[in-house]
Structure 1
Amino acid sequence: MARMSSTLGAPRPDQASYMLRAAAGDAGRAYKQQMLDLLDVRAGQTVLDAGCGPGTDLPALAERVGGSGTVIGVDRDPAMLRQARERTHGLQRVQIREGDVHDLPVEPGTVDRAKIDRVLMHVADPADALAQLHRATRPGARIGLAEPDWDTLIVDAEDLETSRAFTRYTTAEVVRNATVGRSLARLAVQAGFHVETVLATTPVFRDFHEADHMLGLGRNMGKAIAEDHIDRSRGDRWFAGLSQGPFYASFTLVSVICSR
């Protein structure tokens, strides 16, 4: 398998393929399996995947609800919805609906299980999105939330200050709600949920090319340089040096399981 080229300032990869690749990695598979287990999805239930993207988790949810349950995948991106429909073709109990997490196309009090995974970091108002989940779920429902905390992003480099500047730029300029991971439990309580479990996992990247793709190292450093947040010569040296010798990067992903 040929490696992709790593270029400073390269454009963002296709969002659907990016999400699928993130889910397919060891860390992605592990936390997703853990969330599914803790959600305790049962046969006959109605399950909502809010911000389902290309439908990565929908087949697994459909298997758990069985022939008498229903899985609802909601996303606002037509390209994501097309892939979700293709991925769930033939699964009679899966419904794909176009909609926004701020206005879920779901009848109030009808959902037994719900999940929202790496979506709140992008939305206009995470608290409002959780209020929508509260409206959609019935008493006794279980809800799974998972979000990164990008303030915990660390990239090993001899130039530690530039690594720190890169993380600051990512947190302040690249991701809308970059530290929402640490706030999940508090926001869930404020939305009316009871927090049962809070877990933190640390995805570790030891391959530079994989990290460049998943973490946007060259892409975001190029932006930071263009916007005068980081000196060009320093940023160029930092990025070029990452591929030399052993590589390490990581961040913290927070998962919260709560009940209605």
Structure 2
Amino acid sequence: MTPPVNAADQIAYLDQAAASAPGRRYKQHLLTALDLHPGHVVLDVGCGPGIDLAAMAATVGTGGAVIGIDHDPAMLEQARHRTAAHPHVTVRPGDAHALPLDDASVDRARTDRVLQHLADPRRALAELRRVVRPGGLVALAEPDWDTLAIDATDTATSRAYTRYIVSEVVRNADIGRQLGRLLTDAGFEVTSIEPTVALFRDYHTANAILRMPAVAEQAWQSGALDENTTRTWLTSLTTGPFLAAVTFFTTTGRVPTDYS
């Protein structure tokens, strides 16, 4: 949950999240929602280290094109390395709020856990509306951290911990549930909203994604949680049956073809 301290750790974290069972499940939903076909030009905004670029490239074929955009030079370098065998993949620097693309220049576009971090998600969606052709699709996947539930006998600390995440850790923590409304406001026709519950029944698997000790330490250092109580709560999570869950929303929008 808290960002790793260097690029290598961040890339490893993203790879681990993508390889987890919940990660594979929602990513498959996102790929299906894009409805890619050979010859399509597809845009991945916030492509990170290029985890999904090759899969999209295989679907659109050499007659299509995949464009990955990210603001982080280390991510761009890794994405270029991973897609070197795919000449129809282009990776370039860019800002989601001001995409370096012409109007109506792509058939499909997606964001994957990007909008939750942006300063202005509405501006990013307006940019997607600008660059996607009439009749084209966008597919967005975002968690709704306000749905995070962690089972523990100390329910008060569980609730305080999740409240801290929503209020202090993630910039747009409940954006998952807002995607349909935001797409509508941006001028898209919403075609689908699909929830995927990421369910964890093993502490270590969950911690690889949620990074609970790191977040908890941040919380008690800020004064949001009591350190001793929170340490006891963390220990209890490792010693008994474990359950945590959070809902991801995959939402698809189409650019209207009738401007009258």
TM-score bin (small chain): over 0.9
Q: Distance in 1 between matches of 2:238 and 2:141?
A: 30
Query: Which residue is 2:80 aligned to?
Result: 85
Preserved contact between residue 29 and residue 250 of structure 2 (Cα < 8 Å): no
Report the TM-score when normalising by structure 2: 0.94
- Post-superposition offset of 1:213: 2.3
The one-character-per-residue Cα deviations of 1:225-251 (angstroms, maximum 9, x if unpaired) are 011111111111001111002111110
Give the distance between the partners of 2:209 and 2:39, measured in 1 at CA: 36
- Measured on the aligned residues, the alpha-carbon RMSD in Å equals 1.4
CA contact (8 A) 1:12 1:219 kept: no
Q: Out of 159, 166, 184, which is 2:179 matched to?
A: 184
Q: Using the alignment, how far apart are the partners of 1:221 and 1:127 within structure 2? A: 31
In 2: Cα distance, 1:10 partner to 1:235 partner:
20
After the TM superposition, which residues 125-204 of structure 1 pair with which residues of structure 2 at under 5 Å, given as runs? 125-204=120-199
For residues 14-163 of structure 1, the aligned pairs below 5 Å read 14-163=9-158
Aligned counterparts of 1:107 and 1:98: Cα–Cα separation in 2: 15
TM-score of the superposed pair, with normalisation by structure 1: 0.94
SS of match in other structure, 1:82: helix
CA contact (8 A) 2:26 2:196 kept: yes
Using the TM superposition, give the Cα deviation of residue 90 of structure 1 relative to its aligned residue in structure 2, in angstroms: 1.7
SS of the residue 2:116 aligns to? coil
Question: What do residues 22-75 of structure 1 show as CA deviations (whole Å, max 9, x unaligned)?
Answer: 111111112211221221111111100000011011001101111111100000
In the TM superposition, residue 12 of structure 1 has moved relative to its aligned partner by 5.5
Q: Are 1:114 and 1:143, in contact at CA under 8 Å, matched by a contact in 2?
A: yes
- Give the structure 2 partner of residue 251 of structure 1: 246
Say yes or no: does 1:223 pair with 2:223.
Answer: no
Question: What's the counterpart of residue 258 of structure 2?
Answer: none
- Which residue does the alignment assign to 1:236? 231
Following TM superposition, the consecutive aligned residue runs of length 4 or more in structure 1 with deviations greater than 6 angstroms are none
Residue 210 of structure 1 deviates from its aligned partner by 2.1
Aligned partners of 2:122 and 2:186 also within 8 Å: yes
Distance change in 2, residues 1:221/1:10 (3 Å):
farther
Q: Distance in 2 between matches of 1:127 and 1:185?
A: 12
Identity, in percent, stands at: 48
The 1-side partners of 2:175 and 2:5 are apart by 22
SS in 2 for 1:68: coil
Gaps of 5+ in 2: 256-260
* Pairs aligned (count): 252
Find the partner of 2:202 among 198, 204, 207.
207
